[in-house]
Structure 1
């Protein structure tokens, strides 16, 4: 069992690395707004705006570079590893900008998990790993903010329902534009995406379907 599990990890981890690289290329090729890609992808700290507290009352999340990838194994993929290579992998990624403080962050996560790899019941033969959809909340990249004396973590999460093309994003951020007063806000935004899909060719033994959605702005409800 341990050997089979290790084999599966060796197969899937490089594939997810390829998925990440392909998504990044998709982002950079869809130059659909005026924000430089390096500004969107940069992990550097971003100071709060002077009207953060006031803007938080009517905050919005600006979505860009929205991309969903569906990776289906080509015929013969996994035949030399006992069927351990998963038949399907799916991923979601996008950039989100908080209109209250101007902070960008990146969300990129699989839309499920692998299950079922191991020895077959009563046969000793390996069972193929299967892809299980998972529409649960996923953590996005954390960002850092500062009031000049202290540093804070801006935490973001997202969930995408593939069947309904429904996306929700939440975030906790801090405003420090009022002298001597630090205020934390948590907000959530959601909406249905209008996505168009194209054939992305082959990558790492898989056929790729790339789906993208136009940039858009979602109103935020404070929690």
Structure 2
């Protein structure tokens, strides 16, 4: 597990071949990798889907509960380090160009997180006490939590502080490695993630009978 997962994109940098040599023509832009789709199954029944795409400075996800809602989440990457988090809430049938009904931003500061909630009629910010280095996470997304666990392993961290979007609490998450599996325990939830050469394959939350698996595509109805 030495490559960054699909949730993070590595960018290669090219140097000049020799001092005084002519500048090489600019390289064509590198196309981002295709999005990765996950299905959430509780006791065998599909309850949600998630689509995740990695970019050089951002991880983007869409969490879909069929016939209920669609939540977009974007997390900044600062030289690979997870940073501030943005959530956008949409009706499940909203067109791609639609604005969210509600947005919530989680912006890290030294020892706090500034939470700003906006809707078409109002905007309100509140400062929540946190901890230096705490990573805001979208509490509903197991793939988001898995990517943070992978980052912690790369940094050789046994614990990592997380700011939970659902509760506004900061908790220490324990991270353990068992062969190709990374387990992360946060606020009583144990998430078991399975990787194949740096690629996220499957996630399990035994206490909730939840299994999250990679699938080829979203169902046509979505």
Query: Is TM > 0.5 for Structure 1 vs Structure 2?
Result: no
Structure number with greater Rg is: 1
TM-score, scaled to structure 2: 0.30
Bigger proportion of residues as helix:
1
TM-score, scaled to structure 1: 0.30
